[in-house]
Amino acid sequence: MIESGLRELAAALAARRISSVELTTLFLDRIGRLNPDINAFVTVDPEKSLKMAAAADARIAAGAAGPLTGVPIAQKDIFCAEGWTTTCGSRMLANFVSPYDATVIRKMHGEAGLVSLGKTNMDEFAMGSSNETSFFGPVKNPWDRTRVPGGSSGGSAAAVAAHLAPAATGTDTGGSIRQPAALCNLTGLKPTYGVVSRYGMIAFASSLDQAGPMARSAEDCALLLNAMAGFDPRDSTSLERPAEDYTSDLDKPLAGLRIGLPREFFAGSGCAPGVMAAVQEAIREYERLGASAVEVSLPNSHLSVPAYYVIAPAEASSNLSRFDGVRYGHRAADYGSLDEMYARTRAEGFGAEVKRRILIGTYVLSHGYYDAYYLQAQRIRRLIADDFAAAFRSCDVILGPTSPSTAFRLGEKAADPVQMYLSDIYTIAVNLAGLPGMSIPCGFADGLPVGLQLIGNYFAETRLLNVAHRYQQATGWHRQAPAGVA
């Protein structure tokens, strides 16, 4: 049962072969057993989970079940969930119990009837690519517990990879769904900006943040995205479009598909040879499936990391101002004045990486620097979006590596922020342009998973999922599981 996909679990629940309470208990037991070592979850609340499961069972019994009712999943601890401690991986919010549900949580708990197993570990305020910036300690990669699971959605990735949950939610500001999916042999999708509501998802960089599913197959991602996506009047950047069934085209043949290979992703020595070899093999697999490869160019892609590290910290520096110790969250115990209260609260509440980004963001927005940094970065952002628009005139999907390397060792890049930032060199441009992107397993290098990135045009989620699904039908990489998690 623990290796089943969401559709099989839902079918078993619908056929009453298992109850949601039983299924939830099964996963909670595994979490109890394996989580102390992996540290994928920061909060589990069996009582709450089982209550939701019982409600789902009642709904199934009443014949009012949706496609995923009663299926348990893990939630990244960036989503506010009523009555749940919601920490965002930070000491600042270690004591924060949300009084309200994020829109995606409301949709999943309410409309879909999904059960939450708990809240997963993450880089503090989603700032990191290794899950090492979490106040609640690093997460171990189930494939090699001396290595990182990637980040920022590292807890969600490790939870699904270790079969502590069949699927999880993640968020992706510069690669935070796709890079950990790649490092943990998962399928992860970052939708087009505006497809999933950001209401109740604790903001890192508002113009880049987007939530999405992380699972063990494209089909599972499609099913979970169905439960997450949709226009939300509470999010002004949410897009009002007709509802879509993301599973509708999964099986569509790929004959005639044009796959764009950005010259810039394949040239140079930035990518580990083992990763590149697996990606090249995936291209040959696609050609066998009837697709053709065309070379495209993203000439400004080398500017994406610098532009990102201006825009994202700028927005973050402002978004994180609300954590001031006045109304909720951490407040320093001793202070003599208001300014001291702010300074101590934030000095104690935030970790080093968050402080670094607040400082960068504050700097680039400051009087006299704004034009040179922030405005310039916005211009680059426009150029990058234009590059993609031009590329999509000659291809349907863009393909390349998700991450330049496989999972690195815990502590390996922790002291070198720039090396860490370069982990997202292939993923960041997608957020800057607001496009949908996926990572799917495409093989192994030295026993560690390699992720293949697929980038679609705006609102091409259904197409991307189809392209991923057909590949997964033809290959078995996504079905590989790490040893020692049974």
Sheet holding 187-190, edge to edge: 41-43, 115-120, 72-76, 167-172, 210-215, 187-190, 437-445, 448-456, 397-401, 258-262, 292-296
Q: Choose among 170, 178, 88: nearest CA to 134.
A: 88
Active-site positions read: 76, 152, 176
Residues at the contact surface with other proteins, assessed by CB under 8 A:
79-80, 86, 88, 93, 96, 98-100, 102, 198-203, 205-207, 233-237, 314-315, 317-318, 320-324, 326-328, 338, 342, 362, 365-367, 370, 374
CA dist 365 and 305 (Å) reads 18
Please, what is the minimum distance in Å from the beta carbon of residue 201 to other proteins? 6
The encoded tokens of residue 285 equal 């697999």
Q: How far is the CB of 208 from other proteins (least distance, A)?
A: 8
| Cα→Cα distances 48→21, 22, 52, 72, 175, Å | 11, 14, 6, 12, 31
Both tokens of 164, joined, read 């502590």
Cα–Cα distances (Å) from 33 to 40, 72, 138, 378, 484, in that order, read 12, 17, 18, 47, 12
* 297 or 318: CB nearest other proteins: 318
CB 1, min distance to other proteins, A: 33
Q: Which helix (H) or strand (E) holds 38?
A: helix 20-38
> Beta-carbon neighbour count of residue 365 at 10 Å?
17
Shortest distance (Å) from residue 445 CB to other proteins = 37
- The H or E element spanning position 352 is helix 352-365
- Please report, for residues 24, 67, 391, 486, the alpha-carbon distance to residue 164 in angstroms, rounded to integers and kept in the order given: 10, 21, 39, 10
User: Which C-beta is closer to other proteins: that of 237 or that of 297?
Assistant: 237
Closer residue to other proteins (CB): 346 or 478: 346
Q: Which is nearer to other proteins, 280 or 378 (CB)?
A: 378
Rounded to an integer, what distance in angstroms lies between the CA atom of residue 246 and that of residue 224?
A: 9
The least distance separating other proteins from the CB of residue 68, rounded to whole angstroms, comes to 23
- Taking the complex as a whole, how short is the minimal distance between the CB of residue 125 and other proteins, in angstroms? 10
Closest CA to 194 of 103, 126, 112, 273: 103
- The DSSP H or E segment spanning 338 is helix 338-349
Residue 47: half-sphere exposure toward Cβ, Cα within 13 Å = 2
* CB of 64 or CB of 326, closer to other proteins: 326
Identity of the residue, 374 or 421, whose beta carbon is nearer to other proteins in the bound complex: 374
Tell me how far the alpha carbon of residue 57 is from its chain's centroid. Answer: 29
Closer to other proteins by Cβ: residue 69 or 210: 210
Backbone angles phi, psi at 63, to 5 degrees: 75, 20
CA angle (186, 232, 396) in 5-degree steps: 50
**Rounded least distance, CB 459 to other proteins, Å:** 18
